[in-house]
Structure formats: C-alpha cells, structure tokens
Structure 1
Amino acid sequence: MTITVALAADPPPQALLNQFTEKTGITVNWLTLPWDDLQAKISEAATAKAFFADATNVDWSRVGELGELDWFYPLEDRLDVDAMRAEVPQLESFTKDGHVVGIPYDASYLVTTVNTEHFANAGITTMPTTIHQYTEDLRKIKKAGVVTYPLSIPFAAAEGLSTYWYQTTNAFGGTVLDELGAPQFASPDSAGHRAARWMVAAFQEGLVPPGNIDLADQQAQRTQMARGQVASTFADYSGVVGSLYESLIDSSVPGRVQYLMTPGVSGPAQNISNPDGIGIPRQAQHPEAAASFIDWFTSAAVQEEMAGLGDPRLAWAAYTLPSHVSSVEKMATSGKLAGGPEIAGMLKTSRPVFPQGAPTWYPQFSRAVFTNLHDAATGSITVDQAMKAVAATATELSGGA
C-alpha cells in the first residue's frame, strides 16, 4: 500500500521513511508544494470531493475553516489524542468544537529575541521584563548610538504583521477575539488597541527602521537581526536563534542573540503559538494508513531523530523544533538547541492565538489587520481608525453586525 503525504517542505531522509515502511508495510509518496499552492490545492480538492492526498497540512490559521466545513477527519477517532495533550501543548490550536483536525508536527510560537551585545554596549545590565522597561532600553540603545534603529517590526502588509500584533496584544494582557468572534480591541484602553499604538509609535518615533514599512518578517530576520542592524525583535519565531542567528554563513551575530522571556505589562508574558499540523482529508484513499503515518511522524521518538538527536543520517534539514516538550528538553540538555532551556520553557506555556480555534473567516480578518496596521504606520490613518476598521470587519464576519 502507498499513501500520498503532501506538505510544504522537502521530504525527510528516505532512510527515515524506510523505517516507517519496514514497521507498517506502508510506502510513502511525498509531495512537496509551496505553502500557498498547497492551501489552494487542499481547498480545490475538498470542494470537488476529489482525492489529493492521504495526509496533508493543517495550518493553525485554517483550523476553524477546515473544521467548520468538515473537510478533514476528526483525529480523536483514530489516534489517542488525550495521551498527547500534556506532551504536546500546541495540540489545543488544532481543536475545533471538540474535534481534533490536525496534529502539530513541529512547535512554532512567537518569542522575543535580543542582541545581548547591543544591550550591554548601551550600559544595560539587567534585561527587561516589562514592556515599559523594554521600550526604555531600546531608547537607551538608540541614544547611545549602538544602532540607529534598535527594534525590528515588519510593517509590510502581510501575515507577519498580523502575528506580530497578536503576540504584542497578548503581551499587553489581552486577547484578539472572544469565543464568539467578537473583537476585543476597539476600545482605546484594550490590550489590542494599546499594542497597536505601541507598535506604530515605535515606528514613528524612530525606534524601527523606516524601510520596515515594506519589509516582511523573514526579510527582517535575515537583513536586520541576523546582521546586527537592530537590537531586538519583539515577536520573532521560535528556533530562529539556532537555525539562523547562529549560522556562520547567514549571520554575522553568532553567540550574540538570545531569547528573552517576552516582556509583559507587569512581568514576562506567555507566547502565542502558530504551529504546523498534519491531518487526513475526507477524500483520503487510505485514511487508516494515513493515521498510522501521522501517529509515527508526530511521535517523540521520530521527532527526535528528525531534530538530529540520533543517527545523523535521519536528521531532517527542514525540521526546526519538535512539538513534544520532552523532545525539546532533550535537545536543550544535549546542547543541540540554542537557547534550549528558555525555548523549552516557553513551549510549555505557549497558548493559541484563538483558544476557541481560528475562525472560518480568518484570512479576511488577518488581511484587515495587516492592511490597517500598515496604513496606520504610514500615517494615512490613525491607530484608532485602524482598530475601528478591523473591529468592524470582525463584527461583520462573525455575524455580529
């Protein structure tokens, strides 16, 4: 029997996939597609009720849509998901109306990164734990001339700006939507409104490079944080210290960038999760075999092999961080994970952007978020106008108009 697995990543080593075949007798046909093309293919196949893959991507942002449309099998019927919950905290991001749509195969959450050398050169000896102190420290770095623009915020009208705002809203102590999808950020004293004001004020004050108005998140990582051009990114990506900033090829700051517990209003805040998952489309030809693959692929033992904790021949170059807490802790203990203890602790307490699951209308909502925040940064509208516009979109989409 052969199953088709479609993800937006090159396949793991064939030697690793061969282990699954030897164990189960199931051969894996791996299909790689760019993320946007993959999402389109998933939707097209489901709409046409046509076969596309036996197992494929379930992105955290599409859980609400995929669950509402019933395009994927509920995995609690085929896997022991309850046994995973303590070990895989980001499983919550893939639950819709009590049904598990996908299983996270990596861990991804938003974190704060800092160039410790830049902070030290500005005379900062104690790292900030609150947003107020963090902002004051950035001003000190700028005033001392360590770098001209100490903070990276990707203000391009793209998804990365939305997720940056979600994490900042969380740091200010609030949520984006309630369980019914109603906006929680329209009021000026709300966390989301304050987060937007802080981001835009940082840009207009000159803490953020002017060119960031059209810079996307990964561009900012590679051209700014990895090159020592800025001192910090408030909402960066987990695993990026080891995968990029420690690189002797792609970075000029090895050994200088660390994770910082994300500053909050009165102390460190939790971290918002945005992981990738894998699930079984309703049109799968071999759903039981696909479930066997997912069970194997998302197991702690296999994730540790993919992360490079075992035979080097089985390590997966495209893999960043296991979804199992114990696996991340093993990486930290082994010294194979930059900032290991910090990143493991953040995984344990990471939480979904939308505890009730991303709404079915998430793409339209995110577009409203990043478009209006971008416009507020340019000065074409005020932050209050931006937040009211996003709130109006959410209200209309959620049926609350």
Structure 2
Amino acid sequence: MRTQSRRRPRRLLAATAAGTLLAPLLSGCWAGAGGTGSGGDSINVLMVNNPQMVELQKLTADHFTEKTGIKVNFTVLPENDVRDKISQDFANQAGQYDVATLSNYEIPIYAKNGWLRELGPYTRKDRAFDQRDILPPMRQSLTGEDGKLYGEPFYGESSFLMYRKDVFEKEGLTMPEKPTWRQVADLAAKVDGAQKGMKGICLRGLPGWGEVMAPLTTVVNTFGGTWFDKDWKARLDSPEFEKATRFYVDLVREHGESGAAQSGYAECLNNLTQGKTAMWYDATAAAGSLEAAKSPVKGKIGYVPAPVEKTESSGWLYTWAWGLQKSSRNPDKAWKFISWASSKEYEELVGEKTGWSNVPAGKRASTYDNPRYREEAAAFQGVMRAAISDARPRDPGVQPRPAPGIQFVGIPEFTDLGTRVSQEISAAIAGRQSVESALKKSQKLAEKISEEYEGR
C-alpha cells in the first residue's frame, strides 16, 4: 500500500485530469478562438466517419436544410482523429464546432468540466422529440453527475459475434447460441482458409483506447481481469489480465486478419463485407452495414452474443451521441439539428432511403416495435437489443469496480492511459514485443493512476 505522502492533492489531480484531456493542445497546430466558428443560419458539426454518420451527411441538405434553412457544415474524421479534435475545441471552448459526436465515456466528463450545454430544457419543450422513447440505458449513460441530460444518442450499441453462416455450413461447423471464447478460437482455426484469402476472425489491433482496447477489455472482463480493483490498485499484471491479453493477441496473430496491428472497426467491417474473414467480434452497429441492400454479404451473416468465459455476458455499452458545446453561437439551431438527427423521423427517412436494417438503431424503444424494422433487421435486431439490455457497465466482471465502464474506465485519465496501453498491445500484435513486456510497461502506467486515486 502506498503512503499518503505519495498521493497527489485532489486539486492537483483535477488539474492533471484536465491536462489529460487538453494534451492534444500541446502538439500540432491549433487555431484557438480565432477559428471560423458558426453563425447566422449555419452550424458546424464535427463527427466520426462511421457509415451511419456518412449517410447522415448525405441526407442532411435535402431533408434538414431544405426544411429548416439551417446549413450544416460537416467535418468528418476517423475515430482517433475526431476525439483529438473534439477535445481541443471543447476544452478550449473555442466554439469552432457547435455539435460533436461524443460517447457515453466523454459526456459525463465533459459535462462535469462545464464544456456542454444541458439538453433537458430543449427536450421538455420539444415534445415531438419524445425523450421518453430513448432507451433507459442510453438516457442514463448520457446524464451527468448532477442528474442533468447532456447528450442525445445517434445510435446505441453493444458488441456481439458476427460470422459467415454459409461458410460454416459448407465446413460442417455449428456456431453455439452462446459461445465461449475457447469455442471461438477453435472455430477460427477451422475456418481459417475456408475460402481463398479468408482468415478465421477479425479483431481490432489498431492503437487507441476506443479501438483495440474496447474489444480487448471485454475479453479481460470475462476472463476475470480488471484494470483496477475496488481499492484502485492497478491489476494489469494479474494472471487474469495477462491470460486474456495473451489469448487475444495469439488469436489475432494466428487466425486473424493481415495487418491486424493497423486494423480498427472500419478495416474489420470491410474485411467481413469483402469475404476476407469468416468471423468478427465488434459493435452491434455494424449489422446495419452488413445487411444493407448493396452489401455483398447480406443474408449470409449470423449473429450471436459476445463470447464469454467466467461471466454471463460480456458485451459493451456504447453510444455515439450528440453533444452541444456550451460556447456555441447557435445553440437553438444546433438543437434543431440534434433533434432531427436523433429523431424517429430520421429513422423513417433512412428506412425508406436505404432499408430498415440500416437505420441507426439501439437508442429508441419504438424502433424495435416497428414491424418494418423488425422484418428487415430480423437477422440481428433481437440479439442486438438483448445485448444492450444485458450490458452491465457498473458490474461487468467478477469483482467490484471503482468506476463505471465495460470497455473503458470512466475517469478522465483513461484517454491517455488507454491510448498508451493500446500502443503496447498493438506492438505485441505486430510481433515487436511480447505480451509480458507489453503488460509490464502498461502496469507501470496504470500504477501512476493508482497513486492518484487510492484512498478515495
């Protein structure tokens, strides 16, 4: 147990936490408050480049701007890049962007720092938006410590295992209804090479706390590991954490995609869609793209719950949501965009334009009651909703946790810690170091957080 004299005062800890989120400001070029910002009848939106977001960008001019007269200027970036840019603008309260895609990890932290505008007053006035229709896990995850609402979900997700039903059938293999990770590894070996250029499984290996660490941490949870125990002692050197990490690294190295250390969500989605892999463990949101009308694997994919070992379930809980910057020059117009992008109306639009299986689901109860959605998304909607309902963000493993989160630890320092640990894990996946070496370095990083939090 570390002595009290080694712990930093809480005021210094708060500064450290803010510094973690502000770290991107110290590197690269930043325009600061001199940026263009929004104004008049336009708003600026910064968002991640996931397929559902790209579709939103395509539909906005004809179906939102045409109706409201509000022009939306989009900046669309990959996940790691968009997180850096959002933290720059919101931490500085520069107001360059009115709205940004934030997750249920960032929103409570940003709200506590005073970077977001409360959305409750808007939802109470905007009865057509129907806030009560938003699924309770999503509402709760976007609420600050003060009990106020600071985000609206664009889509919600958990995680599950996706696999090529036709390939399994051809190989005489059966996917268990609730697979274990050991069973998945065995199946990955058997379907590796089932078709020319096809690998057994795709797993994220790209550095980033929201990339490789998201699926890996769910594996750690169900193998019995944890980042920190209830007393904030770092546990990355525990046998359970090492066993889970070694299992993940070995699986992706032996039967995973080529270039795994540089593969994230987008690359794995492409691999499964293009027939380069037989299985993929990742976000339930991917199903909409896989079952889209023009998808080459539409109707060929099976969906089962996230694999487990020691826990009953292991799927994560996540939402890409809209956050409204407190310093926005156009908050009312920004809300009109948010309310449209997260509305039943927008889901109807996507359903009519691109097919109901492709709607940004996982956020509204009414979506799962819609007969058109239930019919077109029949392959995955039941497994998807169950995964969201079964997610346990405050109790995801086999031991008590000091902070909420399934695929992350809900503290400001995790962005830096998770990213640095991810770099070590990715290096192990690339074969540049051993898992033992990666975790030894990672444990030292986590111990610095322990020193700050122990005794709380």
TM-score range, shorter chain: 0.7 to 0.9
**1:192-207 to 2 correspondences below 5 Å:** 192-204=241-253, 206-207=254-255
Report the Cα offset of residue 351 of structure 1.
4.9
- The question of whether the paired residues in 1 share the 8 Å contact of 2:268 and 2:280 is answered with no
**1:10-49 to 2 correspondences below 5 Å:** 10=57, 12-14=59-61, 16-17=63-64, 21=68, 27-35=69-77, 39=83, 42-49=86-93
Match of 2:162, SS state, is strand
**TM-score of the superposition, structure 1-length normalised?**
0.79
- The question of whether the paired residues in 2 share the 8 Å contact of 1:121 and 1:146 is answered with no
- Letter paired with 2:190: K
Q: Structure 1's 49 and 179: CA in aligned 2 closer, same or farther, altered over 3 A?
A: farther
Match of 2:278 among 203, 213, 231: 231
Match of 2:421 among 361, 369, 382: 369
Match of 1:12, SS state, is helix
Say whether 1:321 aligns with 2:361: yes
Which structure 2 segments of 5+ residues have no match?
Answer: 1-39, 48-52, 397-402
Could you tell me which residue of structure 2 aligns to residue 220 of structure 1? 268
Query: What whole-Å deviation, never above 9, does each CA across 1:15-72 have from its counterpart, x for those lacking one?
Result: 5426974xxxxx4331200236655554444455443344333233433542342111
Match of 1:360 among 412, 418, 422: 412
Larger RCO (CA under 8 A, 6+ residues apart): 1
Match of 2:59, SS state, is coil
- The question of whether the paired residues in 2 share the 8 Å contact of 1:79 and 1:291 is answered with no
- The question of whether the paired residues in 2 share the 8 Å contact of 1:181 and 1:394 is answered with no
Say whether 1:304 aligns with 2:347: yes
- Letter paired with 1:33: T
**TM-score of the superposition, structure 2-length normalised?**
0.70
Which structure 1 segments of 5+ residues have no match?
Answer: 22-26
Q: Structure 1's 365 and 308: CA in aligned 2 closer, same or farther, altered over 3 A?
A: same
Report the Cα offset of residue 286 of structure 1.
4.3
Q: Which moved more, 1:84-93 or 1:73-82?
A: 73-82
Match of 1:187 among 222, 238, 251: 238
Could you tell me which residue of structure 1 aligns to residue 207 of structure 2? 157
Report the Cα offset of residue 297 of structure 1.
4.0
Q: Structure 1's 97 and 366: CA in aligned 2 closer, same or farther, altered over 3 A?
A: same
**1:2-401 to 2 correspondences below 5 Å:** 2=41, 4-8=43-47, 9=53, 10=57, 12-14=59-61, 16-17=63-64, 21=68, 27-35=69-77, 39=83, 42-76=86-120, 78-79=122-123, 84=132, 87-98=135-146, 99-127=148-176, 129-142=179-192, 149-158=199-208, 159-172=210-223, 175-177=226-228, 183-189=234-240, 192-204=241-253, 206-222=254-270, 224-234=271-281, 236-244=282-290, 248=294, 251=296, 253-265=297-309, 269-288=313-332, 290-291=334-335, 293-299=337-343, 301-308=344-351, 312=353, 320-330=360-370, 332-336=373-377, 338-352=379-393, 355=404, 358-397=410-449, 399-400=452-453
For residues 138 and 275 of structure 1, what CA distance do their matches in structure 2 show?
A: 29
> Percent identity of the aligned residues?
18
- Letter paired with 2:446: A
Report the Cα offset of residue 373 of structure 1.
1.0
For residues 135 and 160 of structure 1, what CA distance do their matches in structure 2 show?
A: 21
